[in-house]
């Protein structure tokens, strides 16, 4: 891990960047108004510090690895101060999409680098809200294919 590498752990609406340091997802440029990560899902991202403003306590991060396997480095990070704001740069929507419980895809246009609007305006706007269920696929199919018979003669 280089001096500019920075590991973050995301759980629900919180971003941890050290043992005793965290910041709310709302204190980032992530479109969190209508976007939520799956409840209880723990993610580790390896990021690179691009810029840090000591006055505003704002850090700009470029995400290098969305599925970090070696999570032990987080405990060795010793931030000197509480961050007030995290600015994510060059986010890849398709890398975080499986971890999202709900989102408005149109909110990620201009924020995520892998969303191209040329010729895709209709498909982007039609996929406004995407919900992931915590049920297995076979349960979902069964749940919506059952027939209920009601005796109306009684």
Encode the chain (154 residues) as per-residue pLDDT tens digits: 556 888 999 999 999 998 789 999 999 999 867 888 999 999 999 999 999 999 999 999 999 999 998 777 666 788 888 999 999 999 999 999 999 998 888 888 888 988 865 545 545 444 544 444 444 344 444 444 455 566 676 5
According to the model, what pLDDT value does residue 138 have? 43
According to the model, what pLDDT value does residue 134 have? 42
According to the model, what pLDDT value does residue 142 have? 43
Q: How many CA atoms lie within 13 A of 105 on its CB side?
A: 20
- For residue 2, give both structure tokens: 């280089």
According to the model, what pLDDT value does residue 78 have? 81
According to the model, what pLDDT value does residue 20 have? 82
Which H/E stretch holds residue 49? strand 42-53
- For residue 62, give both structure tokens: 């470029």
According to the model, what pLDDT value does residue 2 have? 55
Cα–Cα distance for residue pair 144/128, rounded to 1 Å: 23
Enumerate the H helices of 22-152 as residue ranges: 93-96, 121-126, 137-145
- For residue 135, give both structure tokens: 């049920």
- For residue 45, give both structure tokens: 């991202």
Is the overall model pTM greater than 0.75, yes or no? no
């Amino acid at each position: 891990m280089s001096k500019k590498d920075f590991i973050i752990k995301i759980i629900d609406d919180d971003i941890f960047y050290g043992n005793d340091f965290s910041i709310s997802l709302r204190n980032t440029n992530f479109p969190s108004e209508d976007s939520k990560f799956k409840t209880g899902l723990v993610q580790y991202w390896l990021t690179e510090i691009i810029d840090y403003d000591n006055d505003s306590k704002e850090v700009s991060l470029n995400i290098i690895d969305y599925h970090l396997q070696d999570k032990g480095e987080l405990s060795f990070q010793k931030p000197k101060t509480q961050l007030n704001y995290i600015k994510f740069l060059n986010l890849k929507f398709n890398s975080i999409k499986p971890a999202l419980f709900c989102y408005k895809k149109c909110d990620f246009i201009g924020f995520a680098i892998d969303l191209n609007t040329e010729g895709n305006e209709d498909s982007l706007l039609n996929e406004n809200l995407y919900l992931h269920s915590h049920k297995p696929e076979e349960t979902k199919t069964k749940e919506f294919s059952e027939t209920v018979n009601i005796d109306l003669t009684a």
